Structure 1
Amino acid sequence: MINKEEFLLKAYKLGIIKFGDFTLKSGIHSPFYVDLRPLASSPELLRELSNHLLYLLKDSQYELICGVPYAALPMATAMSLESDVPLIVKRKESKGYGTKKMLEGIFEENQVCVLVEDVITSGKSLVETIEEVEKEALKVKDIVVVLDRQQGGIELLKNRGYNVFHLFSIGEVIDILYKHSLLSAEEAKKIKEFLEGKPMVSIQKVTRSSYEEKLKVQTHPVAQKLLQIAMQKESNLIASLDVTSSAELLDLAEKTGDQIVAVKLHTDIISDFSSEYVSELKNIAKEKNFLLFEDRKFGDIGNTQQLQFEKGIYKISEWADMITSHVIAGAESVKVFGETTGVVTIAEMSSKGTLTDGAYKAKAIEISEKAGNVIGCVAQSKLPETLLLFTPGVNMTSSGDSKGQQFNTPEKVFKEYHTDFIIVGRGIYASSDPQAEAEKYRKAGWESYKNNV
């Protein structure tokens, strides 16, 4: 393997770096432009590059290789062939047909995957890729990059706990080209001044609105009440009490009521449902100051949803402060729940292989923002600030179960997703001391919220 300086000089002849005045995707003018895609047309250089990148990872332990689409895919493929480590492919967008997978290949849960990127600027494309890979229950620890533009991307990823290895920085490239008279002193100076100013990417901490700020813009009475309870109790914890007997549920509600802002229910699993049970649950909610959140996940045509909401043995409309609903039937179907109940739409689910892809999420958010009775969404990623984010699948001790559920920690969902309310189920109701566990989650959720405001 030739040294990396010789490799750069060979690659430079392919036109991978151009100097002049370029308008980047961000709208910023840059004195240089990097495009490593021509390397895919040189098997010799692609092989050399893959060996350089593999050498950077010599002390890393990984079981899969994934290239960030699209420019890094040939590099990742070459690395896979050179190392015999299996390759997986992350799509840039989901297909609208077939399996609609975002990640293609053969892999198993908890395998460690190294990511390959050609050029890093802000780190945004890598963050998006990491999110998609981790949604499939894979682990990402290390990232290898060919060229760092020195504009904050590596620092961003390191702050999130990832190891980032790079073959070149743009400063190194400039020094090598100047050394070999491929760049004039004036050009080198201009680029160095540009880099010192770092005008393109701001690495300021991205913050989310506080509950006080959100209260000012929320108009729905249920959203307002939920935020007020959160501030009063210093809690953003919703307990999902998925038990099957009314006595057990009432006992859990009594024990955890001081720590939570709402109880999330699946009423149709209660084997001995009765109006007396509902009355007693409402009394506990009033005494302990929390809301009743029926997770019915309505998903039918409007007329059927209205009947399910108002009629039958459950009469959900008479006691639920909040309900969940899919938007699969369109915007009109959400209107049937009226204006007094807070509707939380399903934008994303936390289970492995969920079909709520990026396109579906975007449409669900669009419908939710326009509906006057929708207060927020269930999701596993950021939402517009006008909607409250409810994140299920939160657990501090487990990464998932055998039925496809995937868990995240409170710190992760507040820091990365900017969630507003965490939903915890088995971490509380399946414990030997639900009250103590609820307090543990209340503290963890509130501290994570405060740390990220």
Structure 2
Amino acid sequence: MSTSTPTSLAPYKQSFLTTSLDAGILKFGTFTLKSLRQSPYFFNAGSFYTATLLRSLTTAYAQCLISSPETPRFDILFGPAYKGIPLACCTVDKLAQLDETQYGDICYSFDRKEAKDHGEGGNIVGAPLRGKRVMIVDDVVTAGTAKREAIEKIRKEGGEVVGIIVALDRRETLPGEEGSGRSAIGEIRREFGVPVLAILTMDDIITALEGREGGEEDMKRMVEYREKFGATD
């Protein structure tokens, strides 16, 4: 079965989608989410654990940051523990490879789940956050709780959160608020006044299915899911 994606998507999105489909990271079927919704698709960012797959993921993060008109100027890429740690480190490296002039001095930081009381101590590993413009990188936004905790930690350390980037924006309404059009990412945008970028959205996946041989039934179920739970913000 072909997993080619249509040319209407940006090249980095096309490449990332193809990799995700071929590796079984993006799957179609029936999946129960934490919200207890029955979703027709599932994206497991934790499966990017080989060198080739991790390179695909961090390249997509880097290209999204470089190409998006919403990307703010930032000094540090911050990865919340635990999944965000390798994402921040590897994406900083990829940014410098793709654009040494603009991103050669970009730093990374991440937090500890528990403060260290010996050695250098503290909650933060990597570049100090005080007085710096900080971009958060993570896999997904579910309810937004983890991102709020990260923002609080960064602000406590004296950093300024200027944006967030995730791998997937499901663009669906908050649990229990079907029909409101409000999403977790939309709430974060409004609450903190920062852009939230995403490599992929649910709309991108539906677009990809339009050009995928044998994907008609999956696309139909995705469209029905979007009609029922899709967010407008």
TM-score by length of 1: 0.40
Q: Secondary structure at the match of 2:91?
A: helix
Gaps of 5+ in 2: 1-9, 97-103, 173-182
> Counterpart in 2 of 1:53?
64
> Counterpart in 1 of 2:81?
69
> Counterpart in 1 of 2:226?
195
> Counterpart in 2 of 1:156?
187
Distance (whole Å) between structure 1 residues aligned to residue 148 and residue 226 of structure 2: 23
Distance (whole Å) between structure 2 residues aligned to residue 3 and residue 194 of structure 1: 25
| Paired residues of 2:130 and 2:158 also in contact (CA < 8 A) | yes
Q: 1:94 to 1:31 in 2, by over 3 A?
A: same
> Counterpart in 1 of 2:114?
94
The CA deviation at 1:44 is: 3.9
The CA deviation at 1:107 is: 0.9
- Considering fraction of residues, name the structure with more strand: 2
Q: 1:100 to 1:125 in 2, by over 3 A?
A: same
Deviations 1:35-89 (A, max 9, x none): 1222241254145224323314675211111123333332221221133411101
> Counterpart in 1 of 2:208?
176
Q: Between the two proteins, what is the percent identity of the paired residues? A: 24
> Counterpart in 1 of 2:101?
none
Distance (whole Å) between structure 1 residues aligned to residue 28 and residue 13 of structure 2: 21
| Alignment of structure 1 residues 201-220 onto 2, 5 Å | none
Distance (whole Å) between structure 2 residues aligned to residue 23 and residue 126 of structure 1: 23
Q: Secondary structure at the match of 2:114?
A: coil
> Counterpart in 1 of 2:16?
7
Deviations 1:172-212 (A, max 9, x none): 112203412252x232222222222228x9x9xxxxxxxxx
Q: Secondary structure at the match of 1:175?
A: helix
Gaps of 5+ in 1: 204-453
Over alpha carbons, which structure has the higher Rg? 1
Q: Say which structure, 1 or 2, has more relative contact order (CA 8 Å, 6+ apart).
A: 2
Q: Secondary structure at the match of 1:3?
A: helix
TM-score by length of 2: 0.73
Deviations 1:282-333 (A, max 9, x none): xxxxxxxxxxxxxxxxxxxxxxxxxxxxxxxxxxxxxxxxxxxxxxxxxxxx
Give the superposed CA RMSD: 2.7
| Paired residues of 1:150 and 1:169 also in contact (CA < 8 A) | yes
The CA deviation at 1:20 is: 2.0
Q: 1:155 to 1:23 in 2, by over 3 A?
A: same
Question: When the two structures are aligned, how many residues end up with a matched partner?
Answer: 199
> Counterpart in 2 of 1:352?
none
Moved more, 133-142 or 25-34: 25-34
The CA deviation at 1:169 is: 0.6
Distance (whole Å) between structure 2 residues aligned to residue 133 and residue 50 of structure 1: 21
Q: Secondary structure at the match of 2:74?
A: coil
Deviations 1:365-393 (A, max 9, x none): xxxxxxxxxxxxxxxxxxxxxxxxxxxxx
